[in-house]
Amino acid sequence: MGRLIEGQWVEDAYRYDEQGRFQREESRFRAWIEPNSTFAAEPDRYHLYVSLACPWAHRVLIARKLKGLESAVGLSVVHPLMRNQGWELRDDFPGATGDPILGARYLREIYTAAEPQATTRVSVPVLWDQQRRTVVNNESRELLRMFNHALAPIAEHDIDLAPPDRIEEVDATIDAIYEPINNGVYRCGFATTQAAYDEAAEGLFSALEQWDEVLGKRRYLCGDRLTEADICLYTTLIRFDAVYAVHFKCSQRPIREHPHLYGYLRELYQMPAFRETTDWAHIRHHYYLSHPFLNPTGIIARMPDLGLDRPHGREGLSAK
């Protein structure tokens, strides 16, 4: 892996604090699509770059499908392996598309096309504006909100994943699950000291227990309607037993032993927008082969039987 420093690619590891805790960095591009702004909602203008392996990019892919934005916003899928040159736009893996838009070989070329002297990590998801030839935004949570609200005028489906009467709760829930769960699995996996790992694992498994209890009473995280918060939790839960439990040492208790989280995960997986954007080959190849410091032999662990098509039994949960 690496990063751009003043437009030059520099091979580089992740950042840690002095206690060995993984430090996630802020996303660089943070503009918004808004009516009558530099970035207006227009079909065929924006292009989304994702990895099908990445839980952050997966959020935006699910929203794109749920909202019916697939014909309005184009998509490029990177190759699942991310090694010294960062994400590559090769098409020699099923589902990887290459880059029909800029003809880039490396994802970093999208970043330098926007800002030749950029100093930034080169991450997915990233939204490219074909009209202004620049990156709009590369922060998944903001892209998720933009796909939901700002791009609604060009969306085919009328579904609001952060409705006005729930938006504060949706934001508070996304905040609450981010550190212990979404980022927590990475903090377990990338910890470089036992203490940093123990701290992350403790936070992760107590948060999972807490949300398991909540989901015993509520159908979705914010009540009886699917929201952005569910998308944010799903993309971590679906990778958990297949990858994080082994590769990131999130081993204490699998999702399929949390009864309510497991039923909830099955329900979401059985929805087409979730299932059709979940690509096991990309997920498993990416994680097990892209972090040689964690898995030097590059062996891909066996897939457990997740039983995701079993009935979820959650229809009877009333709104609370």
Residues within the interface to ligand GSH (CB under 6 A): 1, 27, 51, 54, 56, 86, 121-125, 139-141
Q: Which is nearer to ligand GSH, 188 or 215 (CB)?
A: 188
Q: Which is nearer to ligand GSH, 186 or 197 (CB)?
A: 186
Q: Which is nearer to ligand GSH, 9 or 262 (CB)?
A: 9
Contact 272, 65 (CB under 8 A): yes
Closest by CA to 236, choosing from 186, 164, 162, is: 186
Residues contacting 287, CB < 8 A, separation 6+: 53, 239, 243, 247, 248
- Cα separation, 245 vs 227, whole angstroms: 26
The DSSP output letter for 257 is G
Q: How far is the CB of 86 from ligand GSH (least distance, A)?
A: 6
Q: How far is the CB of 182 from ligand GSH (least distance, A)?
A: 8
Q: How far is the CB of 315 from ligand GSH (least distance, A)?
A: 32
Q: How far is the CB of 283 from ligand GSH (least distance, A)?
A: 10
- Strand-by-strand arrangement of the 74-77 sheet: 74-77, 46-50, 126-129, 134-137
- Cα separation, 209 vs 261, whole angstroms: 9
Candidate list 186, 197, 220, 244, residue with the active-site label: 186
Q: Which is nearer to ligand GSH, 56 or 106 (CB)?
A: 56
Active site residue 186: yes
Mapped onto helix, strand or coil, the DSSP state of residue 136 is strand
Active site amino acids: 54, 186
